[in-house]
């Protein structure tokens, strides 16, 4: 069974440039999450989708971050424009969406903003 697939694996950009991350969740998982992990910290939730609906985006900096999950399958997270403080690992996870169901994480995209 394929796991959560993320791309790109690494991204280096200059500040003020746009960047996008892509995630394909495990087949059949209707809940998808985007987390951000800063160096030396634990992952922090940015947004959670139930199918194509964003049910929790309270931690998403909406002035520069946007996300979409068209058709309720794969998802894209975008930053425009990127700032130096956005350098982090962006993790995508998926689950079956039932209470207590464990999350499966992708390998993440490591973003460096110069």
Residues near other proteins (CB under 8 A) are: 4, 31, 40-45, 48, 56, 91, 93, 95, 97, 99-108
The label of the residue with tokens 């003020």 reads 16
Of residues 43 and 86, the one with the C-beta less far from other proteins: 43
Task: Extract the tokens encoding 86.
Answer: 């956005």
Of residues 81 and 105, the one with the C-beta less far from other proteins: 105
What's the closest the beta carbon of residue 81 comes to other proteins, in angstroms?
A: 27
What's the closest the beta carbon of residue 55 comes to other proteins, in angstroms?
A: 9
Give the list of residues 6+ apart from residue 44 with CB closer than 8 angstroms, or none. Answer: 35, 36, 37, 38, 59
Q: Is the dihedral of CA 7, 22, 10, 97 positive or negative?
A: negative
What's the closest the beta carbon of residue 87 comes to other proteins, in angstroms?
A: 16
Of residues 71 and 102, the one with the C-beta less far from other proteins: 102
**Which residues on neighbouring strands pair with residue 94, listed in sequence order?**
32, 104
């Amino acid at each position: 069974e394929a796991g959560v697939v993320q791309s790109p694996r690494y991204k280096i950009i200059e500040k003020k440039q746009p960047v996008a991350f892509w995630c394909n969740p495990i087949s059949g998982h209707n809940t998808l999450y985007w987390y951000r992990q800063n160096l030396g910290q634990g992952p922090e939730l940015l947004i959670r989708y139930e199918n194509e609906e964003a049910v929790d985006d309270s931690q998403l900096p909406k002035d520069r971050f946007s996300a979409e999950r068209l058709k309720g399958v794969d998802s894209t997270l975008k930053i425009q424009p990127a700032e130096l403080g956005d350098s982090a690992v962006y993790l995508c996870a998926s689950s079956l969406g039932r209470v207590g169901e464990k999350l499966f994480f992708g390998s993440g995209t490591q973003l460096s903003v110069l």
